[in-house]
Amino acid sequence: MTKLSRTDLPARPGVKVFIRGLMLQTEIGVHPHERGRLQPLVLDVELTLAPALVLGIGDTVNYEILADTARALAAEGHVELVETYAERLAAACLALPRVTAVRVRAEKPQAIPDAAAAGVEITVTSD
């Protein structure tokens, strides 16, 4: 079997790295009953990477780092708005190498009675 090198293959445009359905326990919400208690926050995060050849983990974004980043932000303490959390996560993701765009969908499954979830979705680009 022939080993491929960087000069053998073209860069791949549009590579996306994602996590879907990451469930965190976090202090989030504007209402008094949401303070001082953890509640679920479910995340979908999608990163668009700049075109490049991906031959190893160093050529992409490790989704374990992505999950750790989301967990670390949730552990920082109470956040009033889901929008604020999503913006912070998007900014942290844009700081990762090769990331040109980030889509964050954050859902609070317990926010609205009789609804599967309520939340926000944002898309941020490096432009």
Predicted confidence (pLDDT) per residue in 50-96, tens digit: 988 888 888 889 999 999 999 999 999 999 999 999 999 999 999 99
Residue 92 lies in a domain: yes
Residue 89 lies in a domain: yes
* Angle, vertex CA 25, rays to CA 84 and CA 93, nearest 5: 45
Domain count, the chain: 1
Residue 21, classified by CB atoms within 10 Å of its CB into exposed (0-12), middle (13-18) or buried (19+), is exposed
Residue 34 lies in a domain: yes
Residue 8 lies in a domain: no
Residue 11 lies in a domain: no
For residue 18, what pLDDT is reported?
96
For residue 10, what pLDDT is reported?
58
For residue 121, what pLDDT is reported?
97
Confidence band of 7 (pLDDT split at 50, 70, 90)? low
Give the span between the Cα atoms of 33 and 48, in whole angstroms: 37
Provide the CATH number for the domain around residue 66: 3.30.1130.10
Q: Is the pLDDT of residue 49 over 70?
A: yes
Whether the model pTM is above 0.75? yes
Nearest residue to 117 via CA among 40, 46, 45: 40
Residue 24 lies in a domain: yes
Residue 44 lies in a domain: yes
Residue 109 lies in a domain: yes
